[in-house]
Structure formats: structure tokens, C-alpha cells
Amino acid sequence: MRRSRTSAHAPAPAHTLVSAALLAVALGVGAWPAAAIEDEVVSSEVGPPEEPGGFLEMVGGAPRPRISQSETNVQHHATDLTEIAVPETDWLEAAALPDRRDALMAILQTAHEAELALEFVDAARGFEQLGDEIDTATYPVWRASRAWWRASDLVPESDVERRAEYLDRAEALAKEGIRRDPGCAECMLWRYAALGRLATVRGILSAARNARTMKNLLDDGIDLKPTRTEGKHNSTLGNLFSASAVFNRMVPDSFWLRLLVGVRGDKERALKDARNAVALHPKRVDYQVELGAVLLCLGSEKGRDEAIEEGRNVLASAKGFERLLPTDDLDLEYGRIMAERPDLACSFSRDGFVDVKKAAGAL
């Protein structure tokens, strides 16, 4: 697997994975010809890069949080819930040639330590080297994907080309991991993460073209029931559940959307997945805020007063939790706003409250 230049763990907090542009999935109607959508045949291919266009706007007049997201980015990566003391080595010991084993072990340790030191580009290159040499292993491939994804998060937003390059690498590596092992749930999680972040770089049409692939990655990953944990507050399955909750909450439940784009939201599914995430990691503030958001969204859309009451109680309770991530206070600030304005909950992302109708009209 050779690295190529193209134009464009910490834990994987669900709102970071999907961000506002993931909602662009719901806005790209018309990007797919209706005849291309068939339930029996689901493509795993991702559409080619497009010129950016049709980015999202926020709901007019919606309150803004008193905390800036940009202030938390670097701190977020310095607070690593993965708690990985040592890298996994079984795959390397089993597959490496005897005369290369010690050298590859040294590369693995160096790459692992680089990620813990927030030197994500160096880490990614080291893991890629391992993946190139042992071309059946998935562990170094998804570790490289994650490192490139994390590296992209620290690139200035103005440097779109470099952000896209890192994310393209992350997506391609995770896709390669799935090719090597169709049961690699970590590869599915990080491919989904890369595609979601790429949508913030390339716009609504990019998200719409990749919407079905992204949903399938979540569904397939959850179906695998992965058991990997990285500390008591972080697991692959928990992150998949929470990402799926956000995806299904934000994407509208529309027959026409399903016909044209290949996906539709499911807020009852979002509630189930949010509850599953919280059951796995009840002390994660971001998981609790997402559960509260789904309940408020359902309550406001369906006129279910009991859901609104429960959502407000969940958000109020989360205020007393230990802050595990620097983004927790930002999430709680959005939770405060949603408790006062449940009508905004369906459009909540960490970038703000997305104006779906206005964005759709821009296509």
C-alpha cells in the first residue's frame, strides 16, 4: 500500500466525527440519480472529489454558546481517553519475518509514542510503513488512518488543501483495512470519520455522494459488535453507537431523500443508539448530551412532552459529571441552549444549529 498525494485516538467524539457537514447528507438531494438507488445493491465506493460548494448555514437567530470550539481543538487531543499503555504486537509477531521482527517492533513503538506525543504525521507515516510491509494486517492501517484524521484536526482551517490531503489518506487507509478484513470495525469507524470530515472541506455534494457509504459503515460496524476498549470511557462500539445516533438524528426522515440520496434518518433508531452508547459509557458527557438532544428532538417533532422532560433531565444531570474532554463544557453549553429551545435539538451540531432548509435551497 503506497502513500499517494491527492487533493484532498483520541476518542472519536460523535459530534467531531459527523460535525455540521455530516448533516449535509440530508441536503444533497438531486446529487444521486434516482435510478442508482437500489436496496439490493449497495455500493461501497465513494464519489470522486468535487469542487467545494453549498456549505451549511446556521439557524438564524439561534443562540450561540459562550465557549469557542476553536479554543478546545489542541486541548482535545492532549486529553486522550484511549489510555493505551503499549501498542498491540500479536499481529506483528505472527506475520513479521524473523529477521525483520525487531526492526518492525521498533517502528511500531516509535509510531505509537509519536501519536501519544501529538506528533500525528510522524505517527501516521510509521504505521503506514508497517502496513506496507505486513500487507495482511489491519491494526497498523487503522492506526495510521486515525493518526492522519487527528493530524487534520490540527491543520488551520484556512489550509484546505492540506486538511483534504490528510483526510484522503485517512479514508484510503481505512478502506484498505476493510479490504484486508471485512470484519475490521475500527476501519469502518475511521473511514466514516474521514468521510464526515471531508464533507466539511468539500461541501454538501461530497456528503450527499458518500451518504449511503457512511450509513453502511456505521450499520456494519455496529452489527460486528466490536469488543475493543481503550480505557474505561472509550470503546469502538460506544463511538459507533454515538456516531449513529447523531447521523440518524440530523438526517431528515424523508421518502424523497431516501429515493434520491440513498439514506433517510430514523430518530427512533437514534434514540436507541444514544441509549446504547450511554449504557456502555455512562460517564461520557458528550454521549449524555447526544441522548438529551435526541430526546428533545423527538419530543419537539412528535409532540411528546415526556421525551422533552426526560431530555431536559438528562442534560441537567450531565452538568454534574466529571469533564473527561475539553469539549465537554462546549457540549454542555449547547445542552443548556437546547433545554431552553427544544425546537433546535434536531439541528444541533458542535458547529452550531444547522439551517437545513436554507442549505437545501442553495443546491
Residue 245 backbone phi and psi in degrees, to 5: -60, -45
Contact 354, 347 (CB under 8 A): yes
Domain ranges of the chain: 14-31+46-71+82-266+356-361
pLDDT of residue 283: 95
Averaged over 292-321, what is the pLDDT?
97
224 pLDDT above the threshold of 60: yes
Long-range contacts, 117-122 (Cβ 8 Å, 24+): 118/77, 118/78, 118/154, 120/77, 120/147, 120/148, 120/150, 120/151, 120/154, 121/147, 121/148, 121/151, 121/166
> For the residues of 159-175, what is the DSSP string, one character each?
-HHHHHHHHHHHHHHHH
Lowest mean pLDDT segment, chosen from 113-127, 184-198, 201-215: 201-215
- Residue 284 has a pLDDT of 95
Per-residue pLDDT band at 200 (split at 50, 70, 90): confident
Q: Which of 217, 210, 141 is nearest to 176 (CA)?
A: 141
Beta-bridged to residue 353, according to DSSP, are 348
pLDDT of 265: 79
CATH superfamily label, 14-31+46-71+82-266+356-361 = Tetratricopeptide repeat domain (1.25.40.10)
Confidence at 305, pLDDT banded by 50, 70, 90:
very high
Q: What is the pLDDT of residue 362?
A: 46
If pLDDT is split at 50, 70 and 90, which confidence band does 113 have? very high
Selected residue with higher pLDDT from 28 and 300: 300
**How many CA atoms, within 13 angstroms, populate the side-chain half-sphere of residue 360?**
13
Question: 2 falls in which pLDDT band (50, 70, 90)?
Answer: very low
317/321 Cα distance (integer angstroms): 7
Residue that the C-alpha cell 446556521 belongs to: 58
Taking residues 142-160, report their average pLDDT: 93
52 in Cβ contact with 202 (< 8 Å): yes
Grade residue 31 by pLDDT with cuts at 50, 70 and 90.
very low
Q: H/E element holding 312? A: helix 305-318
DSSP state of 352: E
Average the pLDDT over 225-250 and give the result.
93
Cell of 297: 428532538
CA distances from 70 to 152, 153, 154, 156, 196 (A): 14, 10, 10, 10, 18
The contacts of residue 303 (CB under 8 Å, 6+ apart) are none
Q: Which residue did the predictor score with more confidence, 242 or 327?
A: 242
Q: What is the mean pLDDT of residues 195-205?
A: 79
Q: What is the pTM of this model?
A: 0.80
